[in-house]
Amino acid sequence: MVFHRHRKWAKLPRMTEPPRPPRRLAVLASGRGSNLVAIQDAIDRGDLHASVALVVSNNSSAGALEFARRRGIPWAHVSAKTDADPGVRLLERLEAVGCEVLVLAGYMKLLDPRVVAAYRGRAMNIHPGPLPRFGGPGMFGEHVHAAVLAAGVPTSGPTVHRVTEHYDEGDILAHTEVPVLPGDDVASLAARVLAAEHALYWRTIARVFDAAPD
């Protein structure tokens, strides 16, 4: 039997879901903010269907806040030094912008447990080394690279994980392996890992929170 595709059917519009609005991210950063910039770049290129609805820092002179101001992104300085209850203030700001996903990008503070509870399963952090071996209290920034070099392991690399009430715990969502090369020092290893972070973080956000159904 031969089936002919009738023109009438061929011309019917495809039944598709209406386009989903961009995921509303809040990015928390304590310093330079290069991961924030990489995420915003991915959004600008159209690779990540999201918007940075808020940038938050505990550090009023953070590069991340400067970037937010330059780009016209809403921002907030939330700190135990200036806020009576920084956890509540942060929650209020997040709610005010309709934040859906919390993205910790070089945020050096432990997140208030009430914020963790409100965003359970919707908060992620990037760590500049393999977990769980090179994580935990005191393991941040250069300390991680120094520990990796001291351990003499052949590889390092960033790890993205869900956020819990404890430092660097929570399900691991992604990891990129980066070689530790002979002659590496903290600065050279940090630069190699940071480049891998910039490639990994937005892709992980897209995969975990932005997987649009077909």
Q: Which residues make up the interface to ligand GAR (CB under 6 A)?
A: 29, 31-35, 105-106, 108, 126-128, 140-141, 158, 194, 197
- Please state the closest distance from residue 201 (CB atom) to ligand GAR, in A: 9
> Which residues are paired to 124 by β-bridges?
103, 162
- Please state the closest distance from residue 90 (CB atom) to ligand GAR, in A: 17
Catalytic residue among 77, 127, 145, 175, which? Answer: 127
Which residue in the shown chain puts its C-beta closest to ligand GAR?
106
Nearer to ligand GAR, 53 or 168 (CB): 168
- Please state the closest distance from residue 21 (CB atom) to ligand GAR, in A: 26
CA separation for the pair 144, 136 (Å, rounded):
10
6 has catalytic annotation:
no
- Proportion of the chain in helix, strand, coil states, percent, rounded to 5: 35, 20, 45
Nearer to ligand GAR, 86 or 157 (CB): 157
> Which residues are paired to 76 by β-bridges?
56
Q: Which pair of structure tokens corresponds to residue 42?
A: 């991915």
Q: Which pair of structure tokens corresponds to residue 28?
A: 């928390």
- Please state the closest distance from residue 175 (CB atom) to ligand GAR, in A: 12
Q: What is the widest separation between alpha-carbon atoms in the chain?
A: 79
Which three-class secondary structure state does DSSP give residue 175? strand
Nearer to ligand GAR, 88 or 146 (CB): 146
CA separation for the pair 108, 135 (Å, rounded):
13
Nearer to ligand GAR, 35 or 58 (CB): 35
Q: Which pair of structure tokens corresponds to residue 122?
A: 């919707």
Query: Which residues are known catalytic residues?
Result: 127
